[in-house]
Amino acid sequence: MKLQRLEEKELIQAIRKEFRTRRQAGLTLGIGDDAAVIEADRKNLVVTKDLLLEGVHFFVSLHPPRLLGRKSLNVNLSDLAAMGALPRYALLGLGIPLRTGTGWIEDFFAGFKSAAKEYDVKLIGGDITRAKKVTLSVTLLGEGKNMIKRSGARPGHFLFVSGTLGEAREGLLLLKKGAKLGENRRVDKMLKAFLDPKAQVELGEKLSRLRAASAMIDISDGLSVDLGHICEESGCGAEIERERLPVSSELRSLQKRSFDFALNGGEDYQLLFSVPPNRLDAVSRLKKKYALTCIGKIFKEKGIFLVNSRGRRKTIQPRTWQHFNSGLVYSIT
């Protein structure tokens, strides 16, 4: 095993290779998707975990603790949503510095609890420890039948995205400039997108139940990067129409680079999924309840292409927005 500085994606691939297991009874899906899937009594047990670290994923001074409690659960819920699974149980690992005020902890747990209630998740365990920085580690267990992997997209399938994109990035920029919640409606929408994202659990579960999506991922690193994951796992390429990207009027009015934010913003926690032509009718019915936008199509040709309003086509490189600092990391080969 030899290492060189590389991107997180390569590290994950290297670990996957290093820890590869023979096809094993009971394990449906291991490292490399949004969550692991274990077979359990006709249903699948779906497991995911994420670390949220002070100074890397959030700043205590910018993030109200109640919303941080909600977000720590929602970013994990979003991974289950991307499998089409329903969340059931949570474990919370919490590291708190001694300086932390009691009010902060009360508010954090109030937020965690409100999100748990909203999604009918039970907290069943975890641990608490003193820490130098606030350290949040949530593990979520869910269940479902037809798990939607990243690898099922095929040429000719249509690409859809839920909600609007790019607002979380704008929200963080505004926060860092000193914006506060409750001062301006448009600004609030941006701030909330970053501080209090909502996982698309219900939508994910419906797409699974209707077998409407052939591949799905949640947009946490940004549309271009997460579409790159689908293309790579599915062995295909994709074309996006720039004019179709769902950008809210609020973001357009606040940010000149709104399309760039929508493409490479990150932390949107919306769902990106591919739909076979014969399942378009199912997605059309879901449009009555959910904001869903067809943004492009899957192609056989590798690469991700952006088509502008004049039909000009250019290759884009998946890139993510390293919001607090420069990113990782290493590769294990």
Q: Which of residues 118-157 bind a copy of itself (CB under 8 A)?
A: 122-133, 135, 137, 139, 141
2 near a copy of itself, rule: CB under 8 A: yes
Report if residue 291 touches a copy of itself, rule: CB under 8 A. Answer: no
Contact between 222 and 319 (Cβ < 8 Å): yes
Q: Which is nearer to a copy of itself, 109 or 305 (CB)?
A: 109
12 binds a copy of itself (CB under 8 A): yes
47 scored as a contact of a copy of itself (CB under 8 A): yes
Give the binding-site size for a copy of itself (rule: CB under 8 A). 74
Binding of residue 59 to a copy of itself (CB under 8 A): no
Q: Which residues, other chains included, contact 113 with Cβ-Cβ below 8 Å and sequence gap of 6+?
A: 69, 123
Candidate ranges 35-43, 207-215, 246-254, 265-273; the one touching a copy of itself (CB under 8 A): 35-43
Candidates 59, 60, 64, 91; binder of a copy of itself (CB under 8 A) is: 91
Nearer to a copy of itself, 130 or 310 (CB): 130
Q: Does residue number 25 form part of the binding site for a copy of itself (CB under 8 A)? A: no
Q: How far is the CB of 201 from a copy of itself (least distance, A)?
A: 18
Cα distance between residue 273 and residue 57, in whole Å: 25
Binding mask 180-209 for a copy of itself (x = CB under 8 A): ------------------------------
DSSP annotation of 243 reads G
Segment interacting with a copy of itself (CB under 8 A) among 24-32, 62-70, 158-166, 231-239: 24-32
Interface of this chain with a copy of itself, residues 303 to 332, rule: CB under 8 A: 325-330, 332
Question: What residue type is 191 in one-letter code?
Answer: L
Among 17, 55, 180, 249, binds a copy of itself (CB under 8 A): 55
CB 71 within 8 A of CB 60: no
**Binder among 60, 62, 64, 109 for a copy of itself (CB under 8 A):** 109
**30 versus 155: smaller Cβ distance to a copy of itself:** 30
CB-CB contact of 166 with 251 (8 Å): yes
Q: Which of 213, 216, 237 is nearest to 318 (CA)?
A: 237
253 near a copy of itself, rule: CB under 8 A: no
- Which candidate, 242, 271, 241, 238, places its Cα nearest to that of 157? 238
Which residue type is seen at 42?
A: R
CB of 160 to a copy of itself, least distance (A): 25
What is the helix (H) or strand (E) element at residue 259, kind and residue range?
Answer: helix 258-264
Considering only the stretches 37-45, 238-246, 274-282, 283-291, report the one whose residues sit in contact with a copy of itself under the rule CB under 8 A. Answer: 37-45
Instruction: Measure the CA–CA gap between 169 and 260, rounded to whole angstroms.
Output: 10
Contact 218, 228 (CB under 8 A): no
CA distance 317 to 81: 26
The Cα–Cα gap between 264 and 261 comes to: 5
Q: Which residue from 103, 178, 182, 311 is in contact with a copy of itself, where contact means CB under 8 A?
A: 103
Helices (H) and strands (E) in the chain, counts: 10, 15
Strands (DSSP E) found in 145-230: 158-162, 215-218
Q: Is 1 one of the binding residues for a copy of itself (CB under 8 A)?
A: yes
Query: Between residues 283 and 332, which has the closer beta carbon with respect to a copy of itself?
Result: 332
Distance from C-alpha of 272 to C-alpha of 278, rounded to nearest angstrom: 18
